[in-house]
Amino acid sequence: MTAGVPLFEFADTPDPARKTGRVLVIACGALAREILAIKAANGLDHIDLTCLPAQLHNTPDKIPGEVKREILAQQPFYDEILIAYADCGTGGLLDKVLEDTGTRRIEGAHCYAFFTGLEAFDRLEDGQLGTFYLTDFLARHFQTMVIEPLGLDWHPQLRDMYFAHYTRVLYLAQTEDPALEAAARAAADRLGLPFEIQKTGYGMLTGFLKNTSAA
């Protein structure tokens, strides 16, 4: 288990006896804090949460199978299951799983898009190519989610090869947290890129969670 990165988490334990009215969110581990915060702020007590490993983003071909396994395991317990994943590099294969299982996910190609809003993200992309995006999660776990998988601790000379075509780091901040902003700035410094910040809040994620059968 990689230190500091949530691998698998139950926020609540499902109970077959309370199926009526319960909604399960199967989420990427990178969204656990955000979903729990939205639940608490909006009184979404009918929602339970289970998270799959955030590290699946390093092997996106595995995401559809892992999501399907969890859907099939949990369907007997819940009236509705929501998938808090965007396409996340699965090339439409996650959507095929959702079609087969009668579940639905949040819109967007990735979490950057649903945090900013889809049209706003398109404008960001059009406005400046070569952006490396950070979220609160990635700022918090930059070492374990970026530096270590790319081998930059052991081969720092690879940095300029990996990031030669990037022009900036853009931190999409979900929360007002000076420590996270400082971590994001340090990440940009480590990559040798200019730093920018845009405060997005939780974006489309709040509406997605509130739009449930029991809400």
Residue 114 reports pLDDT greater than 70: yes
pLDDT at res. 5: 40
For the chain, list the domains and their CATH numbers.
9-110+203-210 (3.40.50), 118-199 (no CATH)
pLDDT at res. 142: 97
Q: Indicate the pLDDT class of residue 10, thresholds 50, 70 and 90.
A: very low
The mean-pLDDT minimum among 89-93, 113-117, 211-215 falls in 211-215
Q: Indicate the pLDDT class of residue 21, thresholds 50, 70 and 90.
A: confident
Average pLDDT, the chain: 91
How far apart are alpha carbons 207 and 215 in whole angstroms? 11
pLDDT at res. 2: 39
Name the pTM for this structure. Answer: 0.87
